[in-house]
Amino acid sequence: MKSRILFRFVIVLFLLLYGEEAFAQWDVIPRLMYTSIKCLLTVNDSTIFVAGDNFTFVRSTDNGTTWANVMQNGINVDTILSLGKGGGYIFAGANGVYSVYRSSDNGNSWGTANQGLPPNAVVNAFTWIDSTLYTAANYGVFSSTDHGGHWKADTAGLGLDQDPLYPTNPYGGIVGITSVGSKKLYAIKSSSRGGVYTSSAHSIAWVPIGLGTVWGHAMAAIDTNVFVGTPGGIYLYTGSGTMWLSRSNGLPNNGQSCILTTADTLLFAYYTGFSTKGTYMSSDLGQTWVQIKDSIFGGNVVKTMVTTKKYLIAGTQRGAWRLPLASVITSVNDIPIHLPTDYALSQNYPNPFNPSTTIRYDLPKATNVTLKLFNALGQEVALLVNERKDAGSYQETWNANVPSGIYFYRLQSGDASTGSARGFVETKKMIVLR
C-alpha cells in the first residue's frame, strides 16, 4: 500500500509540473514491424505475448527486445483474436471449430480446449476469477473450472435471444469481459440491445447496468472501479445501480474508438476522435487526463494496449511500439515528494452506495491511525485501518455487508488517542442503499 501511495504522489506532481501534455518517446519494435496485431498479453514483469493475423503469435521474455515464434506448436488457425491467463495457463481465443487453445508451459506447446463451446464460436476475451476461467463469445459467456477442459454456458439474464441477428452475427454477442476482486464479473454485450452487464461470480445471473453503445475491448478495472469506453466518452462504474460517471475531461470530443489498459493505479487510454487521436494517462481514476505526446504510431490506429513493469506497449494493424513508463512517470528519486500539510478526511465516494465505497484521507506525519465504521446506534461494524502509517494520502475501500441505512466512519490519529492537541479525530456520515 505504501508503494502505491508513493507512486500516486509522483504522478500527481508530474502532472502539476508538466501540465496537460507529457513528452515521451515511443520506439517501434523491429521484430513486429508491419505485423497486423489483434491482441497482447503480459504474463509477468517481462514476458509479452503478441498475436494477430497471418499466423502471427510470438513471445518475448525480455520486455520486447527478442522474440520467439509460438504459433506452430500445436495451433491450427491463422488468426488469434484474444489472449488470457489464469491458473498457470495461457489461453488463446480464435474463430471456428478450434476456438480456444491453452498452454501450461508458457507457450512452448499448445492443445485445444473447446469441449462445450459452439462449433463456430468467436472468442473475444478472457478473464479469470476465483479459480474459474470465463470467456466472452458471440454465443454468450462460458465458464470452465478445469482450465478450459470443459465449458458450460453462463448466459442467464443476457437476453441474447432478443437480438434479431443472434447468433448469426459473428461480431455480436459478448465482446468484452473483466472481473473485479473475487466477487464480480462485468461483460459488454454488442447488439441492438447492448450495454454492460454484471453478475456475482459465485452465482451467475446477469443484470443490465446501463450504457447502450459500447466499444467491446474498451474495458478496464482498478480496484473495484470499472471503466468502459463509449462513443460519448469514457465512463466509470463504482458498483451503484445503473449510475455511470463521465470520465472524459481532457479527452477529444465525439469519440470514434477507445482502448484502455492499466498500470497499478494509472489508467491509459488510446482515444480516437473525429479530428484527433492520441494516448492519454490518468492518475485520479479518470477525473483528469494528460496526453502523452509523440503517440503517432506511423499513422496506424492502435488496436490493443498492455503494460509490463517497465513499458506501455501498443499494437496496431501494422506493427507495435513500446514506451518506457519511467519516461512518463519520471523517477521517484528525481522529484521531491510534496506531502500533505494537514490531516483531512474526505467524504466517501460514491454516497449513497451499494455495495462498496471509497474513503480518502491525508496524514501530515507518521502516526498510528484507526479508521472505524459505526451504525446509527454507535455500534462498531467494521475496522478498516488500525496500524502505523507514514505521512501521505491514502484511500480505503469498504465492501459493505450490512443492511440499508445511515452509517458513520471515523478517522483518529494516535496523537488524539493520547489527548494531544495536535491529534486528529473526524467523523462523517454515509448511506448504504440496497
pLDDT of residue 238: 84
317, 351: one domain: no
What are the helix (H) ranges across 277-390?
Answer: 325-329
- Of the residues 286, 301, 332, which one is the last residue of a structural domain? 332
Range of the domain at 382: 344-432
327, 356: one domain: no
- Kindly list the distances between the CA atom of residue 419 and the CA atoms of 364, 378, 390, 412, in Å, as whole numbers in the listed order: 18, 21, 20, 11
369, 274: one domain: no
* CA atoms within 13 Å, Cβ hemisphere of 138: 19
369, 326: one domain: no
Q: CATH number of the domain at 372, please.
A: 2.60.40.1930
Question: By C-alpha distance, which of 307, 300, 294 is closest to 267?
Answer: 307
316, 349: one domain: no
Each of the 434 residues of the chain gets a pLDDT tens digit; together they read 444 544 454 454 444 444 445 556 788 899 888 889 999 999 988 899 999 888 899 999 998 889 999 987 888 888 999 999 998 999 999 887 788 999 999 999 999 999 999 888 889 999 998 889 999 998 899 999 999 999 999 988 888 776 666 666 655 688 889 988 777 888 888 765 678 999 988 888 999 988 876 766 688 998 888 999 887 788 898 887 788 888 888 887 766 678 899 988 889 998 876 667 788 898 888 888 888 876 678 778 888 999 988 899 999 988 999 988 887 765 333 334 456 778 889 888 888 888 888 898 888 888 899 999 999 999 999 999 998 887 877 888 898 989 999 999 999 997 655 555 467 999 999 999 87
267, 321: one domain: yes
- Of the residues 332, 366, 397, which one is the last residue of a structural domain? 332
268 part of a folded domain? yes
Question: By C-alpha distance, which of 362, 365, 374, 290 is closest to 329?
Answer: 290
User: Residue type at 396?
Assistant: E
348, 328: one domain: no
Domain count within the chain: 2
The whole-angstrom separation of Cα 119 and Cα 139 is: 10
Q: Note if the pTM is more than 0.75.
A: no
Query: 99-102 — which CB contacts under 8 Å span 24+ positions?
Result: 99/123, 99/137, 100/135, 100/148, 101/74, 101/75, 102/147, 102/148
* Cβ–Cβ < 8 Å for 177, 141: yes
Q: Cβ atoms within 10 A of the Cβ of 7, count?
A: 17
- Of the residues 332, 363, 379, which one is the last residue of a structural domain? 332
pLDDT of residue 16: 42
Name, in order, each residue with C-beta under 8 angstroms of 65's C-beta and a sequence gap of 6 or more: none
* Cβ–Cβ < 8 Å for 265, 9: no
Name, in order, each residue with C-beta under 8 angstroms of 433's C-beta and a sequence gap of 6 or more: 240, 352, 353, 354, 404
142, 237: one domain: yes
pLDDT of residue 372: 96
Strand 425-432 to 405-413 pairing: antiparallel
Strand partners, 409: 373, 428
337 part of a folded domain? no
Residue count (the chain) = 434
Residue that is written with C-alpha cell 517497465 in the block: 310
Strand partners, 380: 374
Q: CATH number of the domain at 63, please.
A: 2.130.10.10
The whole-angstrom separation of Cα 100 and Cα 71 is: 13
- Kindly list the distances between the CA atom of residue 110 and the CA atoms of 79, 85, 92, 120, in Å, as whole numbers in the listed order: 15, 14, 9, 20
Name, in order, each residue with C-beta under 8 angstroms of 184's C-beta and a sequence gap of 6 or more: 198, 199, 200, 201, 224, 239
What's the DSSP call for residue 421?
Answer: T
pLDDT of residue 411: 95
The whole-angstrom separation of Cα 48 and Cα 67 is: 9
353, 406: one domain: yes
158, 216: one domain: yes
The whole-angstrom separation of Cα 321 and Cα 300 is: 11
404 part of a folded domain? yes
